[in-house]
Amino acid sequence: MREAEHEYAPKGLLYGIKLMNSWLYDAHPTAYLEYDAPLQNIKDGAKGRYFEELIEKYLLNNKHASVLILKPKKGMLKEKENALKERLQKIKESMTDEELERIIENTKNLLKRQETPDPREALETIPLLSISDIKREADVLPLVEKEVQGCKLLFHPVFTNKIAYTNFYFDMDKVEIELMPYASLLSTLLGKLSTENYSYEELAKEIDINIGGIKYYPQIIEKINNIDEFKPIFVIESKALMDKLPRMLELIGEVINRTKFDDKKKIKEIIQQTKSRLEMVIIEKGHSVASKRLTSYFSKAAKINETMNGLEFYKFIANLEKNFDNLYDDLVDKLYKVKDRIFNINNLLLSLTCEERDAKLYEDNIVYILKDLKKDKLEKTNLDVELSKDNEGLLTQANVQFVAKGYNYRKLGYEYNGTMQVLRTIISLDYLWNKVRVQGGAYGCFMNIERNGTLTFASYRDPNLKETIKAYDDTVKFIEGLEIDDREMTKYIIGTMSKLDFPLNPFLKGRISDENYMRGITQEDIQKEREEVLDAKLEGIKSLKNVIEDVIKQEYICVLGNENRIKDNQDIFNKLVKVFE
């Protein structure tokens, strides 16, 4: 509450929305902006029976209840599809020739309306900023390199309203490739198991009381100057009020240095929960799953990331859950091995975001983390992996597809340019929006272009498959015929700038600065990209046609979606993979 953490959203806008929650119902407008007094009331109430009375009233003595049973049935999707076809066929047979002709004509009119651009006169009534309203200088994120007790510290001196944001980056280049999934599982287990000095219930209570949250996760850092240079890292993010900072560091040290993996029942429960959560993510964010899988066909970094954060990791978890009793002893051995290889002082890069005057408190107490870390020097492991053009159809029972296509343009000899981001805006919000979303019926569709060379198309909850791939292929024709006046170009540039100029809270200022540092992105790179976006011209946009064309020609695709729909188009795939067993 104090930090007003809204990620990338402008907090002023969200405050305005919160006002409506009370204002619209004749309550005081700022009722949902206050937190000191309500929190104090809760603290005072906790001394009595405040929570007990809430539980008694709304849970124990609540006579209202409902029971919902979800009973899976194999082949249900096919049954529904056949029933729909039969119903539609009966409706068609009951219609006269005139009624059928009317439907055909209405469909033609709808397609014509979808393909017809809005009149210029109507578009020009919309107010528009000018390029001169946007400053040319990129913001500089504060970063001071320090050394604390032999470790490098990236310090970000910014106003944080008495909150400390700490990040710990442990290199994972000492962990063998086959152990990477165990490192990802380790990130899920940490903080949820007992340690040498706390049961997991006590640990959870101490964390909730003293810390604003701890996150553990693996990540791949790719250098921008060399597409083959990357390293996996293990990230720990945490935050706390300044007076709780020593306690936060003490608890993190306890977790990473003294977690025990002897609670077989608890570990199994966490693995089962993780499997369930991953299954929901696969269905809800299928475009991300398909894009990650696609990128793993041509990127070594992405292939390793698949084992920690992608479909490959889900397969690993599903196998553990299925064969848990047989694999448990080996699992524990590997978790300890991975933990010892990661949490080594020689792997550590520190990061702190707070006000200058508070930094010393961190420096005086970081010993809670450092004192028990491993100190031995380990050899880097070989992170080389073989790549293959798998072009998979990922089979599920969903009614829709997530269609991805792409490649790495830097492997084809092209280099990154800020103008590419303007092209991304045009393709995503104009061409693909109309072609795949409006006309094709998908919930969404976009093109992504990254500094590391990755260029991907992806659709979201898409009823089509081959039609969407053809739309991607026709992007080249769209660029060839592109005609944009100055007003339209200004709109596209301003739309692109929203990706570069978004609100940064103190945490994000530190986190993004850290990532730029690790990837080798300099202030000069950031300024160059900004100027290339602001100075984008139609000729420069159209000159990128060859980049898109050459990427598309590589014919790398991945589709996650309906099993029957993918099998009906299996000629375009090299492999068909059943996602859920």
For position 303, which CATH number holds? 3.30.830.10
Lowest mean pLDDT, pick from 3-7, 172-176, 389-393: 3-7
Strands 392-396 and 575-578 turn out to be parallel
pLDDT for the residue numbered 281: 94
187 in any annotated domain? yes
Distances in whole angstroms, Cα of residue 248 to Cα of each of 3, 319, 320: 17, 35, 32
Question: Are residues 252 and 184 located together in one domain of the fold?
Answer: yes
Higher pLDDT, 6 or 46: 46
Work out the percent of the chain whose per-residue pLDDT is above 70: 98
Q: What does the pLDDT average to over 444-471?
A: 97
Is the pLDDT assigned to residue 4 strictly greater than 70? no
Average pLDDT on 419-441 reads 95
In a shared domain, residues 227 and 361: yes
5 within domain boundaries: no
Residue 430 in domain? yes
What pLDDT does 112 receive? 83
Q: What's the mean pLDDT in 264-293?
A: 96
pLDDT of residue 440: 94
Rounded CA separation 97/87 (Å)? 18
- Do 97 and 207 fall into the same domain? no
Q: What is the mean pLDDT of residues 71-80?
A: 82
The yes-or-no verdict on residue 143 having pLDDT over 70 is: yes
- For the stretch 99-122, pLDDT in tens is 999 999 998 888 888 778 778 778
Tokens 């529904």 found at? 80
Query: Residue 71: its pLDDT value, please?
Result: 85
Let me know whether 45 and 84 are in one domain.
Answer: no
* pLDDT higher than 70, residue 1: no
Sheet holding 454-460, edge to edge: 444-449, 454-460, 402-408, 557-562, 392-396, 575-578
Going by pLDDT thresholds of 50, 70 and 90, the confidence category of residue 362 is very high
Same domain for 285 and 236, yes or no, is: yes
Are 449 and 472 members of one domain? yes
pLDDT band (50, 70, 90) for residue 2: low
Q: Are 398 and 280 part of one and the same domain? A: no
- What is the per-residue pLDDT for 39? 83
pTM for this model (two decimals): 0.86
Instruction: Read off the pLDDT of each residue in 409-431 and give the average, rounded to a whole number.
Output: 96
> What's the pLDDT band for 446 if we cut at 50, 70, 90?
very high
Q: Worst-scoring range by mean pLDDT, 3-7, 383-387, 482-486?
A: 3-7
Tell me if 117 is assigned to some domain.
no
455 and 364 co-located in one domain:
no
For 574, half-sphere exposure in the C-beta direction (CA atoms, 13 angstrom radius) is 11
Write down the pLDDT at residue 114.
78
State whether 507 and 568 are in the same domain. Answer: yes
What percentage of the chain has pLDDT greater than the value 90? 79
Within-domain flag for 24: yes
* Residue 337 shares a structural domain with residue 397: no
**8 Å CB contact between 400 and 285:** no
Range of the domain at 106: 72-110
Length of the chain: 581
pLDDT computed for residue 5 by the predictor: 62
What's the average model confidence in pLDDT over 331-352? Answer: 97
Strands of 158-275, DSSP E: 163-171, 214-222, 230-241
Angle at 335 between CA 334 and CA 338, to 5 degrees: 80
Tell me whether residue 354 is in a domain. yes
- From CA 74, how far away is CA 72, in angstroms rounded? 7
- Is residue 369 classed exposed, middle or buried when 0-12, 13-18 and 19+ CB atoms within 10 A define those classes? buried
The pLDDT tens digits for 311-321 are 999 999 999 99
Over 70: is that where the pLDDT of 7 sits?
no
Angle at 96 between CA 93 and CA 97, to 5 degrees: 105
Same-domain status, 402 and 422: yes
- Tally of structural domains, the chain: 4
Query: Does residue 336 lie within any of the structural domains?
Result: yes
If asked whether residues 151 and 291 sit together in one domain, one would say yes
pLDDT class of 3 with cuts at 50, 70, 90: low
The stretch 530-553 carries a mean pLDDT of 97
Tell which phi-psi region holds residue 9, choosing left (phi > 0), alpha (psi between -120 and 50) or beta.
beta
What average pLDDT does this structure show over 279-300?
A: 96
Cα of 62 vs its chain's centroid, Å: 39
pLDDT at 6: 61
User: Is a pLDDT exceeding 60 seen at residue 206?
Assistant: yes
d(CA 473, CA 485): 25
Instruction: Kindly state whether residue 377 falls inside one of the protein's structural domains.
Output: no
Calculate the average pLDDT of the chain. Answer: 93
Specify whether the CB–CB gap between 163 and 240 falls below 8 A: yes
